Structure 1
């Protein structure tokens, strides 16, 4: 356990927050940042992911970076492969101005100590496929945006 150091001054905290905001801005506007993502393409079953990646990379524009991703099908637990396309010259990056945020306010600072929970979280392998499918169905029924999220992650 580390012993907390002296509490930072308000100007130290404000400067630290400013550095965090600058880093966040660089992160979202980076070549593979949130605003650069232009497409997530899930490959059809049986498609060779290496060949699909090679083809997509060869055909991509000079400003586009192609990355691979894999997820597990909620019903079958089989791997599914996909490609993500990131454009460092995307319209979203070009139109981006700022992330709105409040200034640092020392009156909202609360001194506290984080204590990690010792709670056991069941692994995917200990959860039945039926339970996972039911949870997935509940998520999809919640809202149209939840259905989109569940099919594109």
Structure 2
């Protein structure tokens, strides 16, 4: 499965989510749907890569133990794989949230007529640099709050180790 999907993922992964904006608008129209699609693109490939690498990094002894205990697929997934990969996936999720936030703001500048990105662009056109600065500060504050939230989320006890 990895051999089939990896070339496609590696082909699509470096394409900036912002490059997809014209197609997203064509496919989904103006509004929230294109932005959701762009956020999905910004997040999906990083999470797939992190999850794949985390699964490949599981100590093979864990799988031998699971085989010795005759784990079925559900037990293998719930008792071995998910606990083993959760810390890496949570870290990737934290990084992905930051990238997704950048894409949201950039998409607002290009594809919608609301949000902080639109505020900054509109303020720039009106030569209102005070609004531009307020928009930039708000983006930073929200980004900081998102990261703090993800830090708290990542500190929760996720594995039995």
TM-score by length of 1: 0.26
Considering fraction of residues, name the structure with more helix.
2
Larger radius of gyration: 1
